[in-house]
Structure 1
Amino acid sequence: MELSKTRKNLILAVSCVEAFMATLDGSIVNIALPDISKQMRVEISAVQWVSTAYLLAIVLLLLLWGKLADLRGKKGVIITGFLFFAAGSALCSFSKSLEFLIIARIIQAVGAGAMMSLSQGIVTSTFAPGERGSALGQVGMMVALGSLAGPFLGGILVSAFGWPSIFIINVPIAVASAVLAFCVLPSHMENPEKQTFDWRGAVLFSAGILVLFLTLLLAQQGSISSIWLLPAVAVAAAALFGFIYTERRVPDPLVHLGLFRKQPFSLGLLQGYLIFIALSATLLFIPFYLQDLLRYDAFHAGLIVAVYPIVLAFVSPLSGRLADRMSTRPLTASGTGISAAALFVLAFVRQDTPMWVIIVALAALGVGNGLFQSPNNSDIFNTVPPAQLGIAGGINALFRNLGFVSGTAFSVLIFSFTAGLNVNSISGTMDAHAFMRGFSPVFLFCGACAAAALALCFVRIAKRTRTA
């Protein structure tokens, strides 16, 4: 059934709300953690589980929601996701104990996992290839705006109404979005054949991801020694091999491994993973540089860091429109190249570096990532059959989250090793020379990741040339 332009735009609005809210709630809560810690009279290290539990639950459910959408239809899954998100948000706002708040955040994450998993798949199934890049670019813009608005909106709400307000504001928006999704999303099934759910693969996947993510998060927080990373990676790798073994032998696998044999899909995921490693480290260490080294207050530091998502929000839709009209290769190559150049500039920043250099580098990073994301997502989803768009969206979101978590963990380890400082204790008075001794290697690592993503662009070009 051909959809009208108005209906397509309403479906795009649903997808943009999904992306915005899921991203917003990943960042908005951080600014409220000190208030939650004081009101509930618990240590800030314990309150961090409000964020950790949310992230863990999302990554565990991304593939499961995506597969369920392929089996039962996206409409029912996304409506369920919005309603879980609304219920979890309401419960968070009524929480009187940390334990109840963490449970409520997990319920909220159940819904956020569906929203994050399906936003790009819904857009891909709704828009034809000639208009898909522009639509995906607008979803990318909402992701950038969500990350930008989180700390800003959270600060206003917490100051004016207290920390419960950052959760209660989600409820009417999520309920209204569920109603809109019910009215505008088509009910057809891309895969009408009856299939069974691969529970064995789901358990193996969940076990591996849980061990890997939990260890990375705990190491990042300084709760466990980094020596536990090696055995955790070994356990996760064993679970992954068991998962692959199972997927090759069951009739209805959780993930069709044939997807990874499609070069634009697999290389696109790997490029996205590398870019998000670099971004996570940047967003972690630039605020430390501005506030703890240069002594900027939180407001002015926030304005400087906001340059990145503001530029990204402008460039992403433009890049999406260009991807509909030309080859995506120049866009992804120039995007990763600009990002790598910006990160290498940041690697040579010193305490007396003019502020305009930092601002230009962050703006360039926004341009580079904006040029890269929408065309790369178009490449990934253009290779996916309609019946597998749900699981493909879950895989793409999983690689994005894995890049953020592992990038933060790796950069913290590099910083701690080279600077001889614990990143969790550098706020306040610190040795500026030691900080910069760790700061530069972190951004050299980030630049190397972006350069590796650039190299993969040329691998894709070379393979396409040989095929032609």
Structure 2
Amino acid sequence: MSNITQTPCDKGVLSVTPPTASGRPPSGMWVLVATILGSSMAFIDGSVVNVALPVLQVDLNATAADVQWVVEAYLLLLASLVLLGGTLGDHFGRRRIFAIGIALFSLASVWCGLSPNIDSLILARAVQGIGAALLVPGSLAIISASFNTNQRGRAIGTWSGFTSITSAIGPVLGGGLVQYASWRWVFFLNVPLAAIVLVILFLHVPESRDETVRGGLDWRGALLATIGLGAIVYALIEAGSLGILHPLVLSILAIGVIIFVAFILLEARIPNPMIPLTLFRSSSFSGANLLTLLLYAAMNGITFYLPFNLIQVQGYPPTLAGLALLPFVLIMFSLSRWAGGLVDHYGARLPLVVGPVIAAIGFALFAVPGIGGTYWLTFFPAVLVMGLGMTITVAPLTTVVMGSVAERHAGIASGINNAVARTAGLLAIAVLGIVVVASFQNNLMSQLAHLPLPASVQQAIAAQGHKLAAIQLPGGINGEARMQIKQAIDEAFVASFRLAALICSILGLLGACCSWFMIQDTRKATTGKTGQKQQTSHEETIDK
């Protein structure tokens, strides 16, 4: 569920030079059908996979680090290549790149569904991430190329409404498939959607590209960003089992940092960088991106571990676990237009302080529930408050990003913010993994020390600490002893989940501080495009 919302500034791909289309004129209905179904593949996949993680972890005998990589491999390639994917569409044709992304995503989905082990699944998810990096920027870019200015707002609104539905039903659908069929069908679901999209694309959607694009592609930047982020994430995930001071962890982390610094230096020197660093001279732009990094790290971190709590500890069936965050999606859907209007009345800085503070309270509320109790009195208040805080934040955040740079840079600025949001989730899951695993193991050993268990049994359980709540109890343990061990495991996980929730709350508060000190409180700079943003605010708030 870590991808239940669209990242901010998804509609930034619309801020492009008017494209040149070739071939027959587009059929508006078919363009919308193709882009909605194509986007839905990524949105549904991003939300349903997390519901399947607790089940596939047991089925494939995976560790906590393994299931982290199931998400991280996808996010790593998507975050690193999404800007390049949009540029490829401008250069070589948006329909062509979108179609390649759809085909690659669907083939990787089949690979995921057929994976015999966790390593194969992780590699397939990485390929899925490459496909998503090609198709995610393409859907709205194709709409931009296919509709004139007067029609575009209505087209985006239609796209927004239908993709919000897929975002809402994604976790529920995934939970149902996991509960009544198999987690593998979560991935197979993409195949018929892909087939329909490809047929419509080549029969009814004309090609388009930006003929004004000059300069080459920043392949070196994309490669350095991918390798640098990959090394850093690998080191952080391995730190969960080896320890942060392990020589392998420190060496790979150092290599990742060096490569990422090389990426920054490259972007500062080449004529056509993937990320123009000069944009960060704007205090508001830098503050908005720092807020994005902190707030989306918090949201992705807490929602990554929530399904494990609900399914493995609280005993929720997967379908109900998928429903747990539905109020979040509904709040953002119903209040997004109202949130966009806050900028008109109060400017952007106040909502970007109040929203993260409310979201931080929501994150902290996840630390309240213990084991048991009805959903409405345990997790629902946290979901409700988190949803309200994120709703207040996202539309003004997008407004600041788009309004803090020159008009000609609006598209790349929003693309950068989109990539920052995805990178936030990538880093949050890796860093929180260290904290959660360490806290779980310490609490578990403390709990087991008070139980009258043979040393061999305690050692066998402790050796599986890297599996978190999915620990398999040794054979021969029955009756009350089995119940006590299961209770100890559950209590240890709840303690580690509470710590993660409090860390996420601190991140939210830090984001509010960044808004207060870095974002300029000038309505003129933040409301110039409010009307356009309100019209399309929902695609800025619902993802995956």
TM score, norm. by length of structure 2:
0.68
1:364 matched to which residue of 2? 385
2:336 matched to which residue of 1? 316
* In 2, Cα distance between equivalents of 1:241 and 1:391: 21
1:199 matched to which residue of 2? 219
* In 2, Cα distance between equivalents of 1:206 and 1:385: 28
2:394 matched to which residue of 1? 373
1:44 matched to which residue of 2? 62
> Superposition RMSD on alpha carbons, in Å?
4.5
* In 2, Cα distance between equivalents of 1:456 and 1:137: 34
1:448 matched to which residue of 2? 506
Matched ranges for 1:399-410 at <5 A: 399-410=420-431
* In 1, Cα distance between equivalents of 2:489 and 2:128: 40
My pick for the range that moved more, 135-144 or 223-232, is: 135-144
Give the Å deviation of 1:243. Answer: 1.6
Contact (CA 8 Å) 2:70, 2:122: kept in 1 or not?
Answer: yes
Give the Å deviation of 1:382. Answer: 4.6
My pick for the range that moved more, 17-26 or 313-322, is: 313-322
2:245 matched to which residue of 1? 227
Contact (CA 8 Å) 1:133, 1:378: kept in 2 or not?
Answer: no
Q: 1:425 aligns with which of 461, 464, 468?
A: 468
Contact (CA 8 Å) 2:401, 2:414: kept in 1 or not?
Answer: no
Matched, 1:335 2:355: yes
2:12 matched to which residue of 1? none
* In 2, Cα distance between equivalents of 1:141 and 1:334: 29
1:248 matched to which residue of 2? 268
Contact (CA 8 Å) 1:92, 1:105: kept in 2 or not?
Answer: yes
1:172 matched to which residue of 2? 192
- Amino acid aligned to 1:409: A
Change (3 A) 1:270 1:158: same
User: What secondary structure does 1:426 align onto?
Assistant: helix
Q: CA offsets per residue over residues 326-363 of structure 1, 9 Å max, x none? A: 84444433322321222234445556888526312211
* In 2, Cα distance between equivalents of 1:105 and 1:43: 18
* In 1, Cα distance between equivalents of 2:179 and 2:242: 34
My pick for the range that moved more, 444-453 or 178-187, is: 178-187
* In 1, Cα distance between equivalents of 2:155 and 2:507: 27
Question: Rg bigger for which structure?
Answer: 2
Matched, 1:274 2:332: no
My pick for the range that moved more, 267-276 or 394-403, is: 394-403
* In 2, Cα distance between equivalents of 1:461 and 1:165: 45
Give the Å deviation of 1:32. Answer: 5.1
Give the Å deviation of 1:369. Answer: 1.0
Give the Å deviation of 1:212. Answer: 1.5
- Amino acid aligned to 1:413: I
- Amino acid aligned to 1:360: P
- Amino acid aligned to 1:424: K
Q: CA offsets per residue over residues 32-72 of structure 1, 9 Å max, x none? A: 56877898xx5334974554543333234223213323444
Change (3 A) 1:377 1:10: farther
User: What secondary structure does 2:212 align onto?
Assistant: coil
2:8 matched to which residue of 1? none
* In 1, Cα distance between equivalents of 2:436 and 2:118: 31
Change (3 A) 1:188 1:115: closer
TM score, norm. by length of structure 1:
0.78
* In 1, Cα distance between equivalents of 2:31 and 2:488: 50
Q: CA offsets per residue over residues 250-305 of structure 1, 9 Å max, x none? A: 22223222222234433222211111121123224444555566555555454444
My pick for the range that moved more, 45-54 or 132-141, is: 132-141
Change (3 A) 1:273 1:16: farther
Matched, 1:210 2:230: yes
- Amino acid aligned to 2:385: A
Give the Å deviation of 1:192. Answer: 1.4
Matched, 1:23 2:43: yes
Contact (CA 8 Å) 1:144, 1:312: kept in 2 or not?
Answer: no
User: What secondary structure does 1:430 align onto?
Assistant: helix
User: What secondary structure does 2:208 align onto?
Assistant: coil
Contact (CA 8 Å) 2:51, 2:171: kept in 1 or not?
Answer: yes
Could you list the runs of 5+ residues in structure 1 that have no partner in the other structure?
none
Change (3 A) 1:62 1:216: farther
Change (3 A) 1:207 1:387: farther
* In 2, Cα distance between equivalents of 1:249 and 1:280: 33
Give the Å deviation of 1:434. Answer: 5.1
Contact (CA 8 Å) 1:157, 1:165: kept in 2 or not?
Answer: yes
2:478 matched to which residue of 1? none
* In 1, Cα distance between equivalents of 2:282 and 2:90: 19
Change (3 A) 1:132 1:248: farther
Contact (CA 8 Å) 1:15, 1:139: kept in 2 or not?
Answer: no
Matched, 1:108 2:128: yes
My pick for the range that moved more, 268-277 or 64-73, is: 64-73
- Amino acid aligned to 2:502: L
Contact (CA 8 Å) 1:62, 1:395: kept in 2 or not?
Answer: no
Give the Å deviation of 1:444. Answer: 2.6
Change (3 A) 1:466 1:393: closer
My pick for the range that moved more, 131-140 or 153-162, is: 131-140
Percent of counterpart pairs with the same letter? 26
Contact (CA 8 Å) 2:404, 2:525: kept in 1 or not?
Answer: no
Contact (CA 8 Å) 1:348, 1:440: kept in 2 or not?
Answer: yes
- Amino acid aligned to 1:451: L
* In 2, Cα distance between equivalents of 1:325 and 1:11: 36
Matched, 1:457 2:515: yes
- Amino acid aligned to 2:420: F
2:257 matched to which residue of 1? 237
2:105 matched to which residue of 1? 85
Could you list the runs of 5+ residues in structure 2 that have no partner in the other structure?
1-17, 21-25, 444-464, 471-485, 527-544
* In 2, Cα distance between equivalents of 1:377 and 1:140: 18
